[in-house]
Amino acid sequence: MNKLIIGLDGYDSNFSGCTTHFTLFFLHYLKKSLKQFRLIGDPLLVRLNPNIPFKTRGNASVSVMLEGNLSYEDVLRAADEASMIYSFEKKGTIAVAMLDYVSDEKKRRVLSDFYRKSVTDFVPHKLAEEIAEEVGVAVEGYKSLVGALASIGYAFSGDDSTFELLAYRDPRNMGERSVDREYVARELLAYESLFNNVGKKKNRLVAIPRGPDPVLIGIRGIDKRDLLKAFAKISPHMEKSSSWCVFRSNQHTDPHAVPRKIGELRVYRMGVIEGVVVGKPVIKKGGHAFLRIKDASGDIEVAFYKETNPMNVVASKLISGDVLRVLGGAVDGKGDEAMIFEAEKLWVLRAPDLEVKLNPKCPKCGARMESAGKEKGFKCPKCGYRFRGKLEKETIFLKRELPSGPISPLEGRLRHIVKPPELDGRPLPRVNFTVTEEPACFF
CATH of segment(s) 2-161+433-442: 3.30.70.2200
Q: What are the residues whose beta carbons fall under 8 Å from the beta carbon of 193, sequence distance 6 or more?
A: 221, 222, 223, 226
User: How far apart are the C-alpha atoms of 203 and 180, rounded to whole Å?
Assistant: 13
Q: How far is CA 295 from CA 256, 277, 311, 325, 351, in A?
A: 20, 9, 21, 11, 16
| pLDDT score for 273 | 98
The residue type of 185 is: A
**Exposure on the CB side of residue 169, measured as CA atoms within 13 A:** 23
Q: Quick one: angle between helices 72-87 and 19-33, nearest 10?
A: 120
**Tens-of-pLDDT digits for all 443 residues of the chain?**
788 999 999 887 555 678 999 999 999 999 888 778 899 999 999 999 999 887 666 688 999 999 888 888 888 889 889 988 988 777 788 888 876 655 688 999 999 999 999 999 999 999 999 999 999 898 888 889 999 999 999 999 999 999 999 999 998 888 899 999 999 999 999 999 999 999 877 678 999 988 788 999 999 999 999 999 999 999 999 999 999 999 999 999 999 999 999 999 999 999 999 999 999 999 998 899 999 999 999 999 999 999 999 999 999 999 999 999 999 999 998 777 789 999 999 999 999 888 888 999 998 898 999 988 887 888 999 998 988 777 788 888 888 889 887 999 988 788 999 999 889 989 999 998 877 788 999 99
| pLDDT score for 374 | 81
Task: Break the chain into its structural domains and give their ranges.
Answer: 2-161+433-442, 162-249, 262-351+402-411, 354-398
Q: How far is CA 237 from CA 178, 188, 232, 442, in A?
A: 8, 13, 10, 19
Phi, psi (rounded to 5 degrees) for 123: -115, 115
The residue type of 97 is: A
CATH of segment(s) 262-351+402-411: 2.40.50.1010
Q: Does CATH number 3.90.600 belong to domain 162-249?
A: yes
Closest CA to 230 of 196, 180, 188: 188
Strand segments (E) across 77-214: 93-98, 138-140, 162-169
Q: How far is CA 40 from CA 297, 357, 441, in A?
A: 47, 69, 11
Residue 133's SS3 state is helix
